[in-house]
Amino acid sequence: MSSVTSWIAASRPRTLPLSLSGIIVGISLQINEVKSYPMIAVGCLITTVLFQVLSNFANDYGDGIKGTDNANRIGPIRAIQAGIISPRTMKRVLVLISIMSALSAAFTIRLAWPILQYHQVIFYGLLAVLCITAAILYTVGKYAYGYHGFGDIMVFLFFGVVAVLGTMNLLPNGSWLTGILGALAIGSWSTMVLNLNNLRDVTNDRSVNKNTLVVKLGLNAGRIYHLIILYLGVLSWLFLLGILIFKKGHFSYGIAMIPTILFIKHHVRFGKIEKELDYDPELKKVAMATFLHALSLLIASFLPF
C-alpha cells in the first residue's frame, strides 16, 4: 500500500460514524441553540474525529508492540502488525495528533467561551486532557486499561456520557433527562461494538494476557452481557423519543424509532453465532445502526411536525 493509503487504513475510517453518534445526539437535543452557535457544533465534530483517530493509532501502536496483533487474531491486519508503519513513526504521529486534538478542543472551548462560566471552561479544558489521555492509555503502556477489563466502562463514558452531555452543556438550556437517556443509549450501543470485538478475539486475547471483560467473564456470560446492554440502549432510546414527542409535540421524532429494527435483527443473528469469526461482520452493522439512530434523531429535530 502507498503511504497515504496506509495511514488512512490505520485511522480506521469505519469507526468514525460510531464516534460521531454521541455528538450528533447532543446536537439534535440542542438543535435550537445549535442554530445560534453552529460553529460550536462543528468544533465538537472535528475534535471528536481527532480523538477517535488518536485512539485508533494508539490502539495500533499498543497492540502492535505488545504482540496482541498477531497471526492468530481475527479481523483486519493492522499497520504495525503488518510492518507497513514502524512503531517509531507511529509514536511520532501520536504526538502530532495529540497536539492537533488539544488545539481543536481549545478552539471549540474558545467558541463557547461567551456562554460558559469560568468553572465550565476549566472543566472542559480538563475533560479534553482526559479524553486525549484515555485515547492513548487504552492499549499503550504497562497499565493500559484495555488489558485489565476497563475498556467497556471507558467506552460507555466517553462515547455516551461525555459525547452527549458534553456537547449539550457547551450550549445553553439543555435538558438533563433527555441528555442522560441519549447518553445511556449511545453509550450502551457503543459498548456493544467493543464487546463484539472482544467476543471475536477472546481466544487470542486470553493467550496474550489481554484481560478484557469477556476474558474475565467467560464467553457465555459475555454473550448475556451483550444482550443486556443491547436492550438497555433500546429502552433508553424509546423513553427518550417518548419524552421528546410528549414535550415538544412533534411526532416527527417517531422517525428515530425506525432504525431500532436493525437491533432486533442483530439480536436474531447474534443468537445464531457459534464461531468467533462470525462476530466480526456484526461489528460494523451495530456501529452503523448506532449512527443511523443518531442521524434519524437529527433529521427529526429539523422537521416541523
Q: Kindly report, residue by residue over 113-154, the tens digit of the pLDDT.
A: 999 999 999 999 999 999 999 999 999 988 899 999 999 999
Neighbours of 181 (CB within 10 A): 24
Residue 248 has pLDDT above 80, yes or no: no
Indicate the pLDDT class of residue 66, thresholds 50, 70 and 90.
Answer: confident
**Selection from 270, 269, 235, 238 nearest residue 256 by Cα:** 238
Cβ–Cβ under 8 Å, residues 193 and 17:
no
Contacts 24+ apart (CB under 8 A), 194-198: 194/151, 194/152, 194/155, 195/152, 195/222, 195/225, 195/226, 195/229, 196/226, 196/279, 196/280, 196/282, 196/283, 196/286, 197/75, 197/279, 197/283, 198/151, 198/222
Mean pLDDT of the chain: 92
Residue 29 has pLDDT above 70, yes or no: yes
Indicate the pLDDT class of residue 181, thresholds 50, 70 and 90.
Answer: very high
Residue 70 has pLDDT above 80, yes or no: no
- Distance, CA of 238 to CA of 259 (rounded, Å): 11
- Distance, CA of 13 to CA of 75 (rounded, Å): 15
C-alpha cell at 63: 497492540
- pLDDT higher at 247 or 24: 24
pLDDT of res. 182: 97
Indicate the pLDDT class of residue 77, thresholds 50, 70 and 90.
Answer: confident
- Distance, CA of 217 to CA of 66 (rounded, Å): 23
Cβ–Cβ under 8 Å, residues 207 and 72:
yes
What is the per-residue pLDDT across 56-65, written as a single tens digit (0 to 9) for each?
A: 999 989 888 8
C-alpha cell at 271: 443468537
Cβ–Cβ under 8 Å, residues 8 and 2:
no
Distinct helix (H) and strand (E) counts, the chain: 15, 0
C-alpha cell at 76: 483486519
pLDDT of res. 301: 93
Buried b (16+ CB within 10 A) or exposed e, 113-150: eeebeeeeeeebeeebeebbebbbbbbbeeebebbebb
pLDDT of res. 67: 82
pLDDT of res. 155: 96
Cβ–Cβ under 8 Å, residues 79 and 6:
yes
Considering only CA atoms, give the Rg of the chain. 19
- Distance, CA of 182 to CA of 29 (rounded, Å): 9
Region for 86 from its dihedrals, namely left if φ exceeds 0, alpha if ψ lies in -120 to 50, beta otherwise: beta
Mean pLDDT, residues 192-204 taken together: 93
Using alpha carbons only, give the angle 38, 42, 44 rounded to the nearest 5 degrees. 115
What is the per-residue pLDDT across 159-178, written as a single tens digit (0 to 9) for each?
A: 999 999 999 999 888 789 99
Cβ–Cβ under 8 Å, residues 20 and 292:
no
**Selection from 305, 279, 300 nearest residue 24 by Cα:** 300
Indicate the pLDDT class of residue 291, thresholds 50, 70 and 90.
Answer: very high
